[in-house]
Amino acid sequence: MNFPADVRYTKDHEWLRLEGSTATIGITDFAQHELGDIVYVDISSTGKALEAEEVFGTVEAVKTVSDLFLPVAGTIIEVNPLLEKQPELVNTDPYGNGWMVKMTVTDTAAVEALMNSEAYSALVS
């Protein structure tokens, strides 16, 4: 499994990459592997201010639907437009073109409290 060192991770299997005060968020390689073939991503939270661990959307796989939880508080500013027609990008490129949302982070220090790649790897091992 792939757990890049340049992102932070949650116990709910989301990842976050911070650039300034903007974060890109998706689900981890472990999560997409566990879900199986992803057929639909439903995110309708653009423009909404949400708290950490609030649901910002769902991801539907062949066998299940799972909630997506925001790693830190902030406002959703963009949803990945590619996922509407190509939800399988979450399976094939979870840390690249398969990202889910971009958000403005309320408190960038909160990102440091998330797990690094070593801690997340230990969690899922």
Which tens digits make up the pLDDT trace of 54-71? 999 999 999 899 999 999
What domains does the chain contain, in order, with CATH numbers?
Answer: 8-108 (2.40.50.100)
The residue written with tokens 């932070």 in the block is 8
The residue written with tokens 């690249």 in the block is 96
* Nearest of 13, 17, 14 to residue 5 by alpha carbon: 17
For range 33-50, the mean pLDDT: 94
Cα 89 to Cα 94: distance, rounded to the nearest angstrom: 7
Range list of H helices, 15-113:
29-35, 89-92
E strand or H helix at 15, and its extent? Answer: strand 14-19
* Nearest of 54, 68, 62 to residue 99 by alpha carbon: 68
Per-residue pLDDT at 49: 95
Identify the weakest region by mean pLDDT among 1-5, 12-16, 111-115. 1-5
